[in-house]
Amino acid sequence: MRSVDVPEPPSVRAPWAHPPADLCELLRSREVAKGLEDCEGQGEEPSDKLQKVLARAGLGSRRACEELISAGRVTVNEELATLGRRVNVTSDSVAVDGVRIGVLPGLVHYLLNKPRGVLTTADDPQGRPTVTQLVPDHPRVFPVGRLDADSEGLLLMTNDGELAQRLTHPSFGVEKEYLAQVEGVPGRAALRLLRNGVDLEDGPSAPAWVGVVGDDRDGVLRIVVHEGRNRQVRRMCDAVGHPVRRLVRVRVGPIALRDLGPGAWRELSAKEVRSLSEAAGPGAGLAPRVRSEPTPSGRRRAQRSGRRQRPG
């Protein structure tokens, strides 16, 4: 079988089921604790005015954040906030429009294009390359979810333990999209099994969105899952008789991999971080129904144009 370049998806559209304890402990890490010095009083608990905390979290200028509070869009510990409210950034829960916001100072969120052969871990006793060597040393960050050594693509890294836990926990159903080049040419029966769920050693997989990309002979599939199971896509493809030759993760929730070469990284914008919080926010636990077949109108358009419909 010839090798092909896995294409980038035309539009925006497996992690830990239970993140390790040390990831959540980053909420109390030295780097975050250092950032708390800016809002600590004389021996008092760290607190600051709500509008200042929201502005620091990237919600806009202090003036704009005051307008958010006045409009009744901000809650603290599930209670409607008012101007002048002070918050304890280490213990209070702040939400805007029902979406929880990370308010600890010093939080960072990176998007990394993980190359093949690099381990998704903070440290390796055998001295092999790890993802933490590809991003800044300070503040210390951990990967959100896992990509095995042979897999490539989008990996989020952060010291925001709360957001990381929500993104990786299966109850929130955050989508992960992959491009997989497999052995052979999957037929309709194999694709139907992948879409409806296949039996794995740890239980059947949930329904997934699966489509063929490009020429059938290339064996490239677009697969969207919302579970957090170890090596899930590889095991699903193995189960239907088409082992994965190359696997690239191209999207997590609303964040897609674009314009980053292997090993490159960038910091997420405040808007992107907020979109991740929304994807793993209230009501996100019910994964959207997965459309596995073209709609009737789509089939008619494909027949008229003489081209097979591609997933998009």
Residue 158 near residue 142, CB atoms below 8 Å: yes
Whether residue 43 sits in one domain with residue 186 = no
CA distance 114 to 248: 9
Beta bridge partners of 252: 176, 255
The whole-number pLDDT of residue 46 equals 62
Whether residue 122 sits in one domain with residue 96 = no
pTM of the model: 0.72
Q: Catalytic: 124?
A: no
Whether residue 220 sits in one domain with residue 147 = yes
The ranges of the chain with pLDDT < 50 are 1-4, 6-44, 284-312
Print the domain residue range for 267. 107-279
The whole-number pLDDT of residue 20 equals 45
Whether residue 258 sits in one domain with residue 220 = yes
Q: Which of 101, 125, 149 is the last residue of a domain?
A: 101
CA distance 184 to 241: 9
In this predicted model, what pLDDT tens digit does every residue of 91-119 receive, in sequence order?
888 888 888 888 787 899 999 999 999 99
Whether residue 119 sits in one domain with residue 88 = no
Whether residue 111 sits in one domain with residue 97 = no
What CATH number should be reported for the domain holding residue 128?
Answer: 3.30.2350.10
**Secondary structure (H, E, C), the chain:** CCCCCCCCCCCCCCCCCCCCHHHHHHHHCHHHHHHHHHHCCCCCCCEEEHHHHHHHCCCCCHHHHHHHHHCCCEEECCEECCCCCEEECCCCCEEECCEEECCCCCCCEEEEEECCCCECCCCCCCCCCEHHHHCCCCCCCEEECCCCCCCEEEEEEECCHHHHHHHHCHHHCCCEEEEEEECCCCCHHHHHHHHHCCCCCCCCCCCCEEEEECCHHHCEEEEEECCCCCCHHHHHHHHCCCCEEEEEEEEECCEECCCCCCCCEEECCHHHHHHHHHHCCCCCCCCCCCCCCCCHHHHHHHHHHCCCCCCC
CA distance 36 to 47: 9
The whole-number pLDDT of residue 27 equals 42
Whether residue 229 sits in one domain with residue 131 = yes
Any domain includes 260 = yes
Total domains in the fold of the chain: 2
Whether residue 172 sits in one domain with residue 115 = yes
Beta bridge partners of 266: 111
Whether residue 165 sits in one domain with residue 147 = yes
Any domain includes 235 = yes
Active-site hit among 5, 22, 38, 148: 148
Any domain includes 189 = yes
The whole-number pLDDT of residue 251 equals 95
Any domain includes 13 = no
